[in-house]
Amino acid sequence: MPLLFEVGLDAVFRPVVVVSASEATQLERVVRRDGLSEDAVRARISAQLPLDEKKRRADFVLENDGSLTDLAAQIDRLLQKLHAG
């Protein structure tokens, strides 16, 4: 949910999981996927709550600078942790 923190719904939905990627990775992926210019992507990113703040407020952070396989493995570990706890 893109505006979870901005509209205060992080108090309602728990746990909060933030999927994080470096700005370089975000730029590359959005330019490739949506065909936007790097300047347009940077403007979009700067209009959002800073990623460091989202990560600070999250219950869990998944790092998504790698492959889909890497992300899937992180998701599996998180689900195991949530089901165990």
Whether 59 is in a domain gets the answer yes
Q: For the whole model, what pTM was predicted?
A: 0.87
% residues pLDDT > 70 (the chain): 100
Q: Please report which confidence band the pLDDT of residue 67 belongs to, taking 50, 70 and 90 as the band edges.
A: very high
Residue 77: CA count within 13 A, CB half-sphere: 10
- Average confidence (pLDDT) over 57-81: 97
The three-state secondary structure class of 37 is coil
Whether 4 is in a domain gets the answer no
Counting the structural domains of the chain, the total is: 1
Which domain CATH number covers 35? 3.40.50.300
Q: β-strand 17-20 against 60-63: which pairing, if any?
A: parallel
Flag whether pLDDT at 85 surpasses 90: no
Whether 1 is in a domain gets the answer no
Handedness of CA 64, 58, 14, 49 (dihedral sign): negative
- The domain containing residue 18 runs over which residues? 9-84
pLDDT digits (tens, 9 = 90+) for 36-54: 999 999 999 999 999 999 9
